[in-house]
Amino acid sequence: MYGKQSLRIGSVRFLDLAGNGEETSGINGFCSRQLSSQPESLSRSTPPDTTPAMVLQSNFAKRVVSNVENHPPSTTTKSIASRLRTSITDAARRRRARANGTSTSKYNAVQAKRRSAKTPASNIKFRMATIPNVPPPVVDVEMRDAEPSGSSSATGNTPVVLPKELGRPDYRDVSREALVAADPELHDTDVTFLREALQEIGPDMLRGLAAITATPSKNALPNELNMIVHDLAVVLPSHLLAIYGPILKSNPEQKRKITLYPVHSLILSAYCTRLPPFPASIPLPALPTDAPPRSAPFSHTIPVRPLCLPHPASYLRLAAFLYTKRTDILMASLMPPCPLPAGFDASDRRQVEAYATQLATTFTGHALLQHAMIVHGLWQNVCALSIFDDSLWETMDAAWNVLLCAIAVSTGNKEAMMPTEEAEDSSSS
């Protein structure tokens, strides 16, 4: 029964990023069997043998194909590195990259501030009202039995334990090997400049993924898959990611759903520092000299890369951000359908309290918890892949803080997240 469980949230397992079956030690000492606010150990598992629920997703944009026959001859054979070369060498863009790129010192400064805090961030407990005949929220975190309730009533409440802060793994650099595997021409390219240039063309690359279709296998996950390209002007994806989730402890025999997503390996390799190098992509075959120009639609075969993530459902949000770097779109996707106030500043306590109160009076506590689970799932994937983009972490922290404040108001425990100024003064003295 939902009313006889305690939901404790805050850990993440790093899963199957290399695709083999051996186990490795935890990252940076964050290795615990108990749920906490820090990343947990990396456990690897082989991809499922069968794929009864394999689905191909064309990612984030609706397919738009118009007048493709009138495009000039295909430019898809041109490497992404060639497209980026002018951007990377542009002096103005190099200066912006220095100012806007991921700041190792900024990330480490946040880490140091948290570790030196007199009162380390702790967990916070809410009591959510149990709704009769409604199952508990679908989350990918462990649930354990709570103490037996003294009442046999179908109504009651369920304790929910959440960390006040989302833990951060220690910083690590992007693998040069992974970048070279994505494109050998990038062997001496500065990562910060590369990310700045990718930000310029990333949105177009993302929209181009909507012009890709494929028919997945019904029985087994193939090593390669044929795709149909409906637009000559797109930058071809290099791989298909076969995303699936971890084995459920409660039902280890249950078959897992696999979803296929076209992707450009360079985008992930530029940000995901724990992701091993992608296998070599398959170049588009050159046409014979006497052949007519290539026209759309045409077929092309690309490799399939299995990838187990702690929270497959939040992959699209993460990938969309890496392609576009749009924090406003990411924040809106994490929150309930209630627009952020104009000029919202997540560091302003009064603004956070006002917006959280608006959410609490508009949505139920259960709805707010579901959105908190989305943020938590995204955080799991970011930790598993070890992505250290400042704006991504700031957005996740802001969404987490707002939602926890809203849940606190909704459950009548406002002081847990928004203590009065008198209480803050007494605790600091």
d(C-alpha 238, C-alpha 303), whole Å:
7
What pLDDT is attached to residue 34? 26
Looking at every residue in the chain, the average pLDDT score rounds to 75
Residue 277 pLDDT exceeds 70 = yes
How far lies 64's CA from each of 58, 211, 299, in Å?
12, 7, 18
The total number of structural domains in the chain stands at 1
Cis peptide upstream of residue 297 (ω within 30 degrees of 0): yes
List, in order, residues 6 or more apart from 156 with CB less than 8 Å away.
3, 129, 130, 149
Is the Cβ–Cβ distance between 178 and 275 less than 8 Å?
yes
- Report which listed range, 26-30, 103-107, 314-318, 425-429, is most confident: 314-318
* Total-model pTM: 0.76
Facing residues of 298 across strands? 229
d(C-alpha 29, C-alpha 46), whole Å:
24
Least confident segment among 72-81, 153-162, 225-234, 358-367: 72-81
What pLDDT is attached to residue 51? 42
Question: How close are the terminal C-alpha atoms of the chain, in Å?
Answer: 44
What pLDDT is attached to residue 221? 86
Task: Report how far Cα 63 is from the mean position of its chain's Cα atoms.
Answer: 23
Instruction: Work out the pLDDT band at 336, boundaries 50, 70, 90.
Output: very high
Instruction: Work out the pLDDT band at 374, boundaries 50, 70, 90.
Output: very high
Q: At residue 3, what is the residue type?
A: G
What pLDDT is attached to residue 83? 66
How far lies 84's CA from each of 166, 192, 199, 264, 284, in Å?
35, 13, 10, 14, 19
- Report which listed range, 55-64, 162-171, 367-376, is most confident: 367-376
**Domain range spanning residue 272?**
2-428
Least confident segment among 25-29, 97-101, 171-175: 25-29
Instruction: Work out the pLDDT band at 132, boundaries 50, 70, 90.
Output: low
Q: Which long-range contacts (CB under 8 A, 24 or more apart) does 283-290 make?
A: 283/77, 284/74, 284/76, 284/77, 284/236, 286/77
18 — phi, psi (to 5°)?
-100, -15
Single out the residue of 165, 166, 155 nearest to residue 128, CA to CA.
155
In this predicted model, what pLDDT tens digit does every residue of 99-121 receive, in sequence order?
A: 554 556 677 777 666 666 656 66
